[in-house]
Structure 1
Amino acid sequence: MATISHPAIANNPPSHPVVEKNRITIAVGGQNLFYYLPLTIADRLGYFRDEGLTVEISDFAGGGKALQAMIGGSSDVVAGAYEHTLKMQTKKQSLTAFVLMNTAPQIVMAVSRKTLPNYQQISDLKGKKIGISAPGSSTNMLANFVLAKAGLTPDDVSYIGVGTSAGAVAALRAGRIDAIVNTDPVIALLEQNHEITLIADTRSEQGTNAIFGGQMPAGALYGKSEFVAANPHTIQALTNAMVRALHWLQKASPQEVSRVVPASYLLNDVALYQQAFAKNRATLSSNGYFSPSGPETLLAVLKSYDPDFAAADIHLATTWTNQFAAHANDKYK
């Protein structure tokens, strides 16, 4: 994989073990999700500590709220959807993603069989309530795109933030929402009990390509570009830990994964969690690299339904770098 150098980052970030900032706060929107599993593994197995970092993870209801925490200064970096680096450019703020966690969004959009038993097509969602993790999150983005392909706008539905765990399941079961956009293990639980009908499924690269027309970079670690440029040792240490976790996940059994994550992530069904991990494993990055075509696909998708992007001059080269992942993969082969 060729390394793309970010314009604001030195071509060869130093490999000195002393980090500029050894206490780091990472904001995340729903850490229990498989989407963020590499972050959890890096934390639980002590990989951040091994790199000389003390990491505090602040968990929020969705990626949009995690982004707000970083912009507001209460966190240093975000584990979240890469798309936010593009969105913030429309607001004249520069963010850089430095390690990729997922090569597909892992997001599913589905309708409730309880409130919409006769669902036939996406236009049936007009006037309905759709549960997303949080406003501005990647679940919101997917829903907007799916609706747009059917000629609907966000104003044609009501979005409700339901989080990413038991609360999301409860909202659908209680009939408070007519459709849900979420990831595993939430979707796996509802699917197992035949409570939903799938509309869009990006838990595989094939499903992602069918919906978006190409590769779609998803979960990543990103920060303000000036922070990334000013703290190359720290960013390298974070990337080292994440790449090490990605390597571990390529070889780990579902049983090993379920033993490492907190018990609360299992939603009282270890076997279901293990099955869901096996289903999502292929979408986990093996090395933390971005594919150059992925950001281009994402930008085309955003331009297709968001007027802010249609008129924006987005500089993709500043939103991601493989530089740190390259050094991490050299260290952890």
Structure 2
Amino acid sequence: MQRRHLIAGGLAAAALPGFSFAQALEKTKVTIAVGGKNLFYYLPLTIAEQQGYFKDEGLDVSIVDFAGGSRALQAVVGGSADVVSGAFEHTINMQLKGQPMRAFVLQGAAPQVVLGVNPKTMPNYKSVADLKGKKIGVTAPGSSTNVVANYVLAKAGLKPSDVSFVGVGAGNGAVAAMRAGQIDAISNLDPVITLLLRSGDLKIISDTRKLDEAERVFGGPMPAGCLYAPQPFLDKHPNTAQALANAIVRADKWIQQAGGGDVIKVVPESYLLGDRAVYIDGFMAAKQAMSPDGSFPAKGPQTALRALASIDPKLEANKVDLNAIYTNEFVKKANAKYPKG
């Protein structure tokens, strides 16, 4: 009798639209921590949320926004969030700290970080060496904006200790700090960068929104924004991770087909920082740096490791297992499910 009820119940469940035993989610409520959600760096996350892609996968996603990626990572380490939408290179540092994190879907094919000087405080700027002793604004200390700045400084023979890094966030506060002359240079992302450029408050030194320039700076493909999570989370919740990857891959593909006008209809008004034209310009500048399909490039992890090793002499590169910091398995299935987005 009991067996008959179980079979009947199973058949009824299987008849429900979208039901699949294989896809049953281990966890439907997921908290994603992000550092600067309004940035184009994280645009796929916003698109997946606003277009209902997470809901389509049966997920109830809460996105918690922090001042920078390092703060978002702390939220997951502390247990107040499940997954980080953040910079790929954090997975390397965490492995070395004995807290394995794995990236499982890519949002950005290049860092999109722009380093530039303040024409007000550095009118006679000639080379990166001129930044010695200066204040550089980053989203938050330890975030990818800090890492990229360190890397550009290292190529010019400067150590991180040769400058002062100041956390300025990723929105209007960063713009205000530059315009008020509180910082001499800034390492930040769009739309902040385009806003400063438009008003003449920024002179660009390094622009990794351009794929070719990013490859030139880093010597190879440098994976950027992605979803990553503690390895135990992925082990316990593979179907939940798959659902997250599905939503981001759909968002990645939506962005490839979108124009600036499409994007401003979808993102919250607050993202536009009061200027729609600037936001559209920023999107067009950042678009080529977005991942087309969520896949991590084969040489990307090696590039990220090399970048980190060059700015942190204590980092023992030979102790990093690059295969353990990312996987394309979820992305392959997501692309099979959504070949056109």
Per the TM superposition, whether the score is higher than 0.5 is: yes
Q: TM-score, normalised by structure 2?
A: 0.92
Displacement of 1:308 in angstroms is 2.6
- Secondary structure of the residue that 1:25 maps to in structure 2? strand
- Answer 1 or 2: higher relative contact order, Cα 8 Å, separation at least 6: 1
Unaligned runs of 5+ in 1: 1-13
Structure 2 CA distance, aligned partners of 1:121 and 1:253? 36
Within the candidate set 268, 277, 290, 2:274 is matched to: 268
Displacement of 1:197 in angstroms is 1.1
Structure 1 CA distance, aligned partners of 2:322 and 2:164? 32
Aligned to 2:246: 240
| Cα offsets for 1:41-95 (capped at 9, x unmatched) | 0000111011000000000000000000000000000000000000111211110
Identity of aligned residues (%): 55
Displacement of 1:122 in angstroms is 1.1
Q: Does residue 149 of the first structure (1) align with residue 155 of the second (2)?
A: yes
Within the candidate set 159, 169, 178, 1:172 is matched to: 178
Aligned to 1:122: 128
Q: Taking structure 1 as reference, are residues 188 and 134 closer, same or farther at Cα in structure 2, changes over 3 Å only? A: same
- The residue type equivalent to 1:52 in the other structure is G
Displacement of 1:312 in angstroms is 5.2
Q: Does residue 45 of the first structure (1) align with residue 60 of the second (2)?
A: no
Displacement of 1:16 in angstroms is 2.2
Structure 1 CA distance, aligned partners of 2:89 and 2:78? 19
Mapped contact 2:309–2:316 kept (Cα < 8 A) = yes
Aligned to 1:291: 297
Structure 2 CA distance, aligned partners of 1:310 and 1:130? 27
| Cα offsets for 1:153-181 (capped at 9, x unmatched) | 11111110000000000011111100000
Q: Does residue 16 of the first structure (1) align with residue 18 of the second (2)?
A: no
Q: TM-score, normalised by structure 1?
A: 0.94
Aligned to 2:326: 320
Q: Could you say what the CA RMSD is over the residues aligned between the two structures, in angstroms?
A: 1.1
Q: Does residue 209 of the first structure (1) align with residue 215 of the second (2)?
A: yes
Mapped contact 1:90–1:312 kept (Cα < 8 A) = no
Within the candidate set 55, 59, 83, 2:61 is matched to: 55
Within the candidate set 234, 259, 265, 1:259 is matched to: 265
Displacement of 1:121 in angstroms is 1.1
Aligned length: 320
Structure 1 CA distance, aligned partners of 2:285 and 2:188? 15
User: Runs of 4 or more off by more than 3 Å in structure 1?
Assistant: none
Unaligned runs of 5+ in 2: 1-19
Structure 2 CA distance, aligned partners of 1:283 and 1:301? 18
Displacement of 1:280 in angstroms is 1.2
Alignment of structure 1 residues 22-171 onto 2, 5 Å: 22-171=28-177
Q: Does residue 278 of the first structure (1) align with residue 284 of the second (2)?
A: yes
Mapped contact 1:62–1:137 kept (Cα < 8 A) = yes
| Cα offsets for 1:277-301 (capped at 9, x unmatched) | 1121111111100011011111112
Displacement of 1:311 in angstroms is 5.6
Mapped contact 1:15–1:233 kept (Cα < 8 A) = no
Larger radius of gyration: 2
Structure 2 CA distance, aligned partners of 1:231 and 1:251? 31
Structure 1 CA distance, aligned partners of 2:40 and 2:270? 13
Q: Does residue 226 of the first structure (1) align with residue 232 of the second (2)?
A: yes
Mapped contact 2:305–2:317 kept (Cα < 8 A) = no
- The residue type equivalent to 2:275 in the other structure is D
Mapped contact 2:102–2:229 kept (Cα < 8 A) = yes
